[in-house]
Amino acid sequence: MKYTKEFAVGIVAILAIGLLYWGTSFLKGEDIFSTHTKFFAIYPKVDGLTKSQPVIISGFTVGSIANMYFHPKMDGSVVVEMKIHTEYPLSTNTVARITSTDLLGGKAIELVPGDNRQPAQSGDTLMSEVSLSLTEEMNMQVLPLKNKIEKLLGSVDTILVLTSEIFTDNFKDNIETSVNSLKNTFASLESSAKAFDHLLADNEESLTRTIEDVGEVSHVLQQNKHNLDKIAKNLAAVSDSLIQSNPGEAFRSLTSTIVNFNDLLQRVEQGEGNLGLLLNDEDLFNNLELASQRLNLLLLDMQLNPKRYVGVSIFGRAKEFNAEELHQLDKEDREKRKKLKNK
């Protein structure tokens, strides 16, 4: 059977178109001769995701992105259509996460299987999630270090400024003065230590005797420990006896006696009774003193002028003294007695 040239050209054109479609699909990562499952995911943003980029599970490519378009609601979200060429079971709670594949900004969708046993059907819409890019993650990790470095640089700058302000000529002079003062202090301490050594050397014998005396006292106390224990026990017994003898009652009796004595003194001060009148009546005191003086003068007059009181004199006539002379003699007699008393 002979074919015309037009028929042969048509066949070749059809084959060329088929090969072109297959090559284009192959370059896009699609295999037109294999079955596939279609899933959808909705993202608020896609961050550089494009068609034909891979869909992976645990790092293994299981499909590609077939199509991307805005949601019919026109709320700014993007619908991504995925073609999956795998028999790996996916559950209804599988998460389709946009992730970075390299530092140059390559993107992919990573399917994270869920724990739900209900399998997902072709055409289902999976849960979506957008992870940070490697650059963003690196920036987030480097940002704290950057902040710390900036603070450190600020601190270093502050330290340098303070150092430049501190290390002035006055500061150097103060440092030099302080060092000299420390040297003088250490020199004084060294001199004091030498003086103390000389003092110990000069009084070594006295210190030795003192230590020996302390040792002897300690030995004596140790030897008389039994007697000291007896003394302590006796004191304890005396204390117990005082406690048992009702010292409270004795103190109450003593307090009552003191109160009565104070009351008696108060009555004497107020002039009650003979003793009170004697102490507080100035006229009575003056009269007693005047009577004592007159009695002294009377006795002195009887001694010097006996003829006034006795009519017969054995020894003859004696000299008579008047009142002024009696007072003078009484005064001299009191002065003599006062001098004898002071001696």
| Helical H segments across 31-102, by residue range | none
Which residue in this structure is represented by tokens 């009695």?
295
What digits encode the pLDDT tens for the residues 11-20? 888 888 888 8
Question: 136 pLDDT exceeds 80?
Answer: no
CA distance linking residue 236 with residue 188, whole number of Å: 55
Q: Is 60 exposed, middle or buried (0-12, 13-18, 19+ CB in 10 A)?
A: exposed
Domain range summary for the chain, segments of one domain joined by +: 1-33, 34-131, 281-342
CA atoms within 13 Å, Cβ hemisphere of 337? 6
Say what the pLDDT of residue 43 is: 92
Check if the beta carbon of residue 300 is closer than 8 Å to that of residue 285: no
Question: Do the bridges between strand 95-100 and strand 125-130 make them parallel or antiparallel, or are there none, so unpaired?
Answer: parallel
Question: 322 pLDDT exceeds 70?
Answer: no
CA distance linking residue 305 with residue 44, whole number of Å: 154
Question: 221 pLDDT exceeds 60?
Answer: yes
Topology at the third CATH level for domain 34-131: Elongation Factor Tu (Ef-tu); domain 3 (2.40.30)
3-state secondary structure of 104: coil
Say what the pLDDT of residue 40 is: 94
Q: Is the dihedral of CA 7, 12, 15, 21 positive or negative?
A: negative
State the average pLDDT for the chain. 76
What digits encode the pLDDT tens for the residues 145-171? 777 887 888 777 787 777 776 666 676
Question: 173 pLDDT exceeds 70?
Answer: yes
Q: What is the pTM of this model?
A: 0.35
